[in-house]
Amino acid sequence: MKILVSVKRVIDPDARLKLTEDGTGLVTGSLEYKLNPFDENAIEEAMRLNEAHGGEVVLVSIGPEDWKRTIKTGLAMGADRAIRVDSDDERLDSDLTARILAAVFEREQPDLFLLGKQAIDGDNNQVGQLLAEYLNVGQACFASEVTVEHNGDAGSVKVVREVDGGLETIQLPLPAVVTADLRLNEPRYPAIKAILGANSKQFDVVSLDDLGVTDTALKVEVVRLEKPPERQAGIMVESVDDLIDKLRNEARVL
């Protein structure tokens, strides 16, 4: 079976962020980047399914040339090849990302498309659902267990997913879209030999024109960023009654 896995480079969550003077973006010169953690879970699950059923694992990412190093992390985890859609990641929203990934899907014709449930930079949690809608295939989000079953020429995927009330098990015909939660698995740490071997794996670069994506209009655009208000100093109260009074009449939380 062929499995497509989306990968995205995100800013290290431990990095100290600074805004540009005009507030339109971040000062990126000294920032560290990493592979989106949920995408690591998606890659790991793709590798486990590949080891169980055979086939091919293909990574797909949307971004500029300097994303190559991050994508190679996924190749080092065992993926067979990678595709980078050349684009400015600052000119993307969830909808355009989904439409680009849908075009890659139509080009590659995989049995399964695995994604991280969300990217930790925007935390939008929209791409998987939009992608399934554009492809008109079944979707299972927040997966904590994935099992592929074969029945002759037909195949299906059984997914245990995390919902507010507990766990839900659903079964989808292939092809399908599944988004990975952190509890799906424990991503493997690539060995040095695998890291070095990633440099020799096939790495294709395609343009939006190659994919036939001509409408690049955004539905959501960030126009300005602002720092959160600084935390105000606390105050001391003389008694419990004073505290209750302030909570009730000033903070209005009682």
Which of 122, 78, 128, 121 lies closest to 101, judged by CA? Answer: 128
Token representation of residue 122: 């925007």
163 pLDDT higher than 70: yes
pLDDT band, residue 25 (cuts 50/70/90)? low
Please tell me whether residue 161 adopts helix, strand or coil conformation.
Answer: strand
pLDDT band, residue 152 (cuts 50/70/90)? low
> What is residue 226's predicted lDDT score, i.e. its pLDDT?
78
Q: Are 39 and 7 in contact (CB under 8 A)?
A: yes
Q: Does domain 2-228 have CATH number 3.40.50.970?
A: no
Distance between CA atoms of residues 188 and 181, nearest Å? 15
Within 10 A of 119 (CB to CB), how many other CB atoms are there? Answer: 22
Of 10-14, 75-79, 201-205, the one with minimum mean pLDDT is 10-14
153 pLDDT higher than 70: no
> What is residue 16's predicted lDDT score, i.e. its pLDDT?
76
> What is residue 27's predicted lDDT score, i.e. its pLDDT?
67
Residue 108 half-sphere exposure, CB side, CA atoms within 13 Å?
Answer: 27
- In whole numbers, what is the pLDDT of the chain averaged over residues? 89
Question: Mind listing the pLDDT tens digit for each residue in 47-100?
Answer: 999 999 999 999 999 998 888 888 898 899 999 999 999 998 778 899 999 999
Please tell me whether residue 190 adopts helix, strand or coil conformation.
Answer: coil
Q: What are the residue ranges of helices labelled H in the chain?
A: 37-53, 68-76, 94-108, 127-135, 192-197, 208-211, 240-249
Percentage of the chain beyond pLDDT 70 is: 96
13 pLDDT higher than 80: no
> What is residue 111's predicted lDDT score, i.e. its pLDDT?
94
Mean pLDDT of 169-177: 95
Distances (CA, A) of 18 to 8, 231, 232: 21, 18, 21
